[in-house]
């Protein structure tokens, strides 16, 4: 999935968001890319307040394409947290893993 993200993104500005994951492979395989920068720019949403932080990130980055790594069972929740006009842009980039999937959305 991480390889699919790097292959699909057009630039480093198209961020990988990790939603409610506790595996930390997304940190390891991106060489901590998702943890660099100021707190408000970090793209890991996995603790108390994760949904609120996710909403704030989405609102602050409208107009960009993002990728979301999540558990397969979280897909509906992730889509539901996006603004209604963004939801039709959500597509699955990679889902051959048994537990996780990679989505993309145009914010």
pLDDT single digits (tens) 42-98: 788 887 888 999 999 999 999 999 999 999 999 999 999 999 999 999 999 999 989
Which pLDDT value is given to residue 90? Answer: 98
Once rounded to an integer, what is the mean pLDDT over residues 11-37? 71
In the block, tokens 């395989």 appear at 29
- Structural domains in the chain (count): 1
Is the pLDDT score of 18 beyond 80? yes
Which pLDDT value is given to residue 39? Answer: 74
Is the pLDDT score of 25 beyond 60? no
Q: In a 10 Å sphere around its CB, with 0-12 CB exposed, 13-18 middle and 19+ buried, how is residue 59 labelled?
A: exposed
Is the pLDDT score of 27 beyond 60? no
Total number of residues shown for the chain:
107
Which pLDDT value is given to residue 24? Answer: 60
Beta-carbon count within 10 A of 50 CB: 13
- Print the domain residue range for 11: 2-106
């Amino acid at each position: 999935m991480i390889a699919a993200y790097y292959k699909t993104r057009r630039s480093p500005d198209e961020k990988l968001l990790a939603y409610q994951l506790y595996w930390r492979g997304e940190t390891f395989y991106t060489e901590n890319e998702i943890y660099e920068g100021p707190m408000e720019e970090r793209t890991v949403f996995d603790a108390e307040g994760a949904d609120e932080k996710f909403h704030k990130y989405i609102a602050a980055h409208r107009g960009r394409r993002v990728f979301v790594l999540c558990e397969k069972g979280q897909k509906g929740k992730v889509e539901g947290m996006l603004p209604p006009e963004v939801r039709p842009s959500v597509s699955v980039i990679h889902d051959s893993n048994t537990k996780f999937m990679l989505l993309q959305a145009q914010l």
